[in-house]
Amino acid sequence: MSLSTPIFLKEREEDNSKFVEIQQSQTTCIAAEDLLQNLCLASQEVLKKAQQNGRSKCLKCGGSRMFYCYTCYVPVENVPVEHIPLVKLPLKIDIIKHPNETDGKSTAVHAKLLAPEFVNIYTYPCIPEYEEKDHEVALVFPGPKSVSVKDISFHLQKKSQNSIRGKNDDLDKPSIKRKKTEEQDLNDSKCKDTTLKKIVFIDSTWNQTNKIFTDERLQGLLQVELKTRKTCFWRHQKGKPDTFLSTIEAIYYFLVDYHTDILKEKYKGQYDNLLFFYSFMHQLIKNAKCPGDKETRKLTH
């Protein structure tokens, strides 16, 4: 007589496991949707009209697009630029985009459209030079060495001090001269601004991020992780945790945490309009289909 678990019991366990996974996913999505519904947004009437009228022409390249041109980073003809909100950010943002990332699927464009004076997008292998300014730049990316947003200032100051000590380790200098140099550098360090001035994001699928993340030009940057935030992105990648955010979600959540944890100010929706396009598209897709509902009904019966 076989002692192995009957096939129908295994199937039931798999179904139950799948059902729990779907329920957890739906719970996360509901919580995220609650956030999207309570944002302080500019009127999206212009997007509703554009959606009804269909694709329109980009006034720069002439391409046919919906809402905005993801190549030129401008709204299309039937979305007047004066109806698009502009968001003022507390620091600069660099986005390093993977060359194989599909332009039309990237949410990084939203940041450039809505905060053009504060956001720059670079296509890898093009990366700005950060080495001399790594005491005021950080990279948002999860990992074992990542720190929380609230600890950024402490770690940047530590990095700046270590950099100064490294410069003073030149044993070839005469001792008297070295002492004077050390005293001068330490005095300078007290005045050195270690405030975060720029934050870097990687824009790619999670399976493609390693090529950019391991680039030596980014290795010296402080690494920051948004550990408590959950995604509601409609193209969430299978097998990845729900803390892996889309680019615009990561930018938005970082700025909210930065505002409260670093600037020590009450958040009153100052950056909500960064989700101006994202929230509208999320609602459109939600109305077009209800992911998981059919599968849930199938498993519960």
Note the pLDDT of residue 264: 95
CA angle 239, 225, 26 (to 5 degrees): 40
In the three-class reduction of DSSP (H, G, I as helix; E, B as strand; rest coil), residue 287 is classed as helix
Contact indicator for 186, 162 with CB cutoff of 8 Å: no
Burial 131-157 (b: 16+ CB within 10 A, else e): eeebbbbbbbbbeeebeebeebeebbe
Cα gap 197→199, rounded to integer Å: 7
Note the pLDDT of residue 23: 47
Report the residue count for the chain.
Answer: 301
Cα gap 109→116, rounded to integer Å: 10
The DSSP code for 147 is B
Structure tokens at 69: 């041109």
Q: Where does the chain have alpha helices with state H?
A: 7-37, 45-53, 108-114, 152-167, 175-191, 209-213, 247-261, 276-288, 293-300
- List the pLDDT tens digit at each of the 301 positions of the chain: 444 445 544 455 555 544 444 444 444 455 556 678 789 999 999 999 999 999 999 999 999 999 999 999 999 999 999 999 999 999 999 999 999 888 888 999 999 999 999 999 999 999 999 988 889 999 999 989 999 999 999 999 988 887 666 655 554 555 555 455 444 544 444 434 558 999 999 998 877 888 899 999 999 999 999 988 888 876 655 656 676 788 999 999 999 999 999 999 999 999 999 999 999 999 888 888 654 444 333 322 2
In the three-class reduction of DSSP (H, G, I as helix; E, B as strand; rest coil), residue 251 is classed as helix
**Beta-bridge mates of residue 224:** 140, 147
